[in-house]
Amino acid sequence: MPTLLDHPRRVPAWLPIVLAALLIVADQALKAWALANLQENAPAQPFIPGLIDWVLTFNTGAAWSMFSGSAAPLALGRLVIGLGILVYLSVRPQPRLLTVTLSMIAAGAIGNAIDGLRQGKVTDMIHSPLLSSITQALNAGSFPIFNIADCCVVLGTILLVVASFIGDRRKPRI
């Protein structure tokens, strides 16, 4: 019996590029809006009260400001990884779920690479008071401010992990 990752129906070779392009455009558009409409160090502007606020900040590192000050090398690494994933998916079409998941991760990597190469820092603007209350309750400080590219990487990775567990559970044990 096929699993989510082994589903025999493959997607067209152009789909990962189109999906990644749409996600990158959305990411860059929101970043442009944030740069034009928000100010760094300004109070949060509620978008969905209690769930999402707009807060402009910049990151020269990776998640949780790891490797701060390393924007250019991180950007080059992100770009190579994102483009590598898209080339792989174009050359070797994969099942639908895997294609969507890897395209999301590639789009996130490329979206943040664009910022790192163009500005020397990544623009972040989405703050979640709900997530911050959870991390603060765990004595881990406020949840980081993020962007659409970050969402693509995190959600894509979560989907990849969940799909791999579902696939493993359905395979017969020998």
pLDDT for the residue 12: 84
Could you confirm whether 168 is annotated as catalytic?
no
Q: Model's pTM, two decimal places?
A: 0.85
Angle between the N-to-C axes of helices 96-119 and 15-37, in degrees from 0 to 180, rounded to the nearest 10: 40
Catalytic choice (27, 53, 115, 124):
124
Gap between the Cα atoms of 141 and 103, Å rounded: 31
CA distances from 66 to 9, 59, 71 (A): 39, 9, 11
Beta bridge partners of 46: 53
Could you confirm whether 115 is annotated as catalytic?
no
Is the confidence at residue 71, as pLDDT, over 90?
no
Catalytic choice (27, 53, 115, 150):
150
pLDDT for the residue 1: 42
Helix (H, G, I), strand (E, B) or coil at 120: coil
